Amino acid sequence: MTPGISGLITWIVILVTAAVSYQGFKSHFFIEKYEFSVEKIRLYRDYKRLITSGFLHVNWMHLIFNMLGVLFFTGTLSYLVGPVGFLLIYFASMLGGNLISLLLYKNQSDYTSVGASGAVNGAIFATIALEPSIRIMFLPGWLFGLIYIAITIYGVRSKRDNIGHDAHLGGAMVGMLVAIALQPAALVENWLTILVITVPTLIFMYLIVTRPHILLIDNLFFNTHKNHYSVDHKYNESKFNQQQEIDRILDKINKRGMNSLSQKEKQMLKEYSKK
């Protein structure tokens, strides 16, 4: 595959994701229509959200961080598996990460999330599976992968930070498995790297899906779990506040009439009516 085609794929993914994310930055209603939502997927079977949510981001920093991952790894992975293989790994990892989140949060109907992190992690770990000697952050790929998986497993259990480790874990594993399916020889050549990363991850994923109570344990830094305020929690609160504001506007119309609304209130009501 030529560098030109690889670069074209990279920039198409980045530009489309940036364009969709920017639309979401401008309108909460747009995000609500396409975000990952346990309630919308399970109750209303709106399965497109398993993919569309991967093109949305919470803010510019979230977007830039993920797109840097695409920029750094598309070329190598495309060279190893070809353009179709790269796109297959990217979207399969996006889907896999969200499916893990759906399983983990299936009883939390208000859980929502956005971001391409699962897809990006899938691309990274697919690259590691096929080329363990690749350098990532000055570390050999196999060592980076092992450390990352250990941190991610700890992050899921401890819930100490604001990161959706579950989607990262699912995306990473799907990326590796699809890469191996595309290049079976890697399983023979790089079996030790793949084994060291995959076995503990699959065991842990099985446990968090079948025995979620293991997440409710104390971590090394706190005697009891604290409700850490994640990006998703912030977004859910934002949606709640927005609904409160709409209710206030409707109450104002009921008491004082439509002419009592400010221009900003009218615009908010107009956007809400398009939802």
pLDDT classification of 119: cutoffs 50, 70, 90 = very high
pLDDT (mean) for 240-265 = 80
Q: How high is the pLDDT of residue 246?
A: 80
Q: How high is the pLDDT of residue 220?
A: 38
pLDDT (mean) for 12-22 = 96
Query: Is residue 53 predicted with pLDDT exceeding 90?
Result: yes
Contact 142, 132 (CB under 8 A): yes
Q: Which of 208, 118, 110, 89 is nearest to 159 (CA)?
A: 208
pLDDT in tens, 170-202: 898 999 999 999 999 999 999 998 898 888 777
- C-alpha distances (whole Å) from 70 to each of 25, 90, 177 are 20, 9, 19
Query: Is residue 227 predicted with pLDDT exceeding 90?
Result: no
Q: How high is the pLDDT of residue 49?
A: 95
pLDDT (mean) for 242-248 = 78
Range of lowest pLDDT (31-45, 221-235, 248-262): 221-235
pLDDT (mean) for 52-76 = 89
Q: How high is the pLDDT of residue 176?
A: 93
CA distance 33 to 105: 19
- C-alpha distances (whole Å) from 239 to each of 17, 115, 168, 214 are 22, 17, 24, 30
Q: How high is the pLDDT of residue 236?
A: 57
pLDDT (mean) for 3-18 = 87
- Tokens read off for 18: 């940036």
Report the chain's mean pLDDT, rounded to a whole number. 80
- C-alpha distances (whole Å) from 158 to each of 111, 153, 225 are 18, 9, 7
pLDDT classification of 223: cutoffs 50, 70, 90 = very low
Is the pTM higher than 0.75?
Answer: no
pLDDT in tens, 21-39: 999 999 988 999 999 999 8
Answer positive or negative: Cα dihedral of 117, 120, 124, 127: positive
